[in-house]
Amino acid sequence: MPQMTQAETKQRAAFHHMAEVMKGLEADLRWGLTDSARIPAGWHKIAAEDPTPKKRHISIRLDEDVLKFFQAMGAGYLTRINAVLRCFMLARLAGVVKGAAEVDHGQEARAEYLREMEAYMKEKPELDRLMALGGKAGDAAYAKASARLDRIQALLLGMLDGVVEDMEQG
């Protein structure tokens, strides 16, 4: 079996997570557990509405490649675009897709990085002194400094991955 790319691994994990969530929802609906936390309050309102919502004529600008993609599927492409938008809306209502107000945008990672850097800078003079002494104390100081720097490096790499992901998503 060939090695999966990172994107394929993430896609597979997202698919399995979605399947688990849907299995849970199915069980809740089958057993009539309408008070379940897995069923967002907004869905109850949608379920009570007319199942065929009224259509409204609007003008919308789409990226050319998006429009071509849907048009290439043939007749009914506007209905498919509406279905994709409805699916997105329901995913947001279900909390499956986070909105801008719910997304961290790396704030927590930045704060953790700053905490780690501050702690390292406070420890550094003492660690340098102990490393200069050598022996067991120097080795222990070196190990502590290395572990802290590895953690800082991992946080930076994680933040960079987040930036690259944000750039790829638009």
Residues in the chain: 170
C-alpha to C-alpha distance for 61 and 90, rounded to whole angstroms: 22
C-alpha to C-alpha distance for 124 and 132, rounded to whole angstroms: 12
Q: Would residue 87 count as lying in a domain? A: yes
Q: Would residue 49 count as lying in a domain? A: no
C-alpha to C-alpha distance for 70 and 63, rounded to whole angstroms: 11
Q: Would residue 50 count as lying in a domain? A: no
User: Tens digits of per-residue pLDDT, 33-90?
Assistant: 555 565 666 666 766 666 667 888 999 999 999 899 889 888 888 988 888 888 777 7
Whether pLDDT at 3 is above 60: yes
Specify the pLDDT at position 39.
Answer: 62
Domain count, the chain: 3
Among 23-37, 66-80, 109-123, the minimum mean pLDDT is found in: 23-37
Q: Are 46 and 93 in contact (CB under 8 A)?
A: yes
Q: Would residue 116 count as lying in a domain? A: yes
Q: Would residue 163 count as lying in a domain? A: yes
Specify the pLDDT at position 62.
Answer: 94
Specify the pLDDT at position 170.
Answer: 56
88 with 113, same domain: the answer is no
77 with 112, same domain: the answer is no
Q: Are 102 and 96 in contact (CB under 8 A)?
A: no
This prediction's pTM: 0.37
163 with 115, same domain: the answer is yes
Segment 24-37 mean pLDDT: 61
Whether pLDDT at 1 is above 60: no
Q: Would residue 53 count as lying in a domain? A: no
**Domain hosting residue 85, numbered range:** 61-97
128 with 151, same domain: the answer is yes
C-alpha to C-alpha distance for 103 and 99, rounded to whole angstroms: 6
What six digits make up the tokens of 18? Answer: 């979605």
Specify the pLDDT at position 71.
Answer: 92
Among 23-27, 31-35, 106-110, 147-151, the minimum mean pLDDT is found in: 31-35
87 with 126, same domain: the answer is no
37 with 65, same domain: the answer is no
111 with 165, same domain: the answer is yes
Q: Are 123 and 148 in contact (CB under 8 A)?
A: yes
32 with 66, same domain: the answer is no
Q: Would residue 46 count as lying in a domain? A: no
User: Tens digits of per-residue pLDDT, 133-170?
Assistant: 888 988 888 888 888 888 888 887 877 777 667 667 65
Q: Would residue 143 count as lying in a domain? A: yes
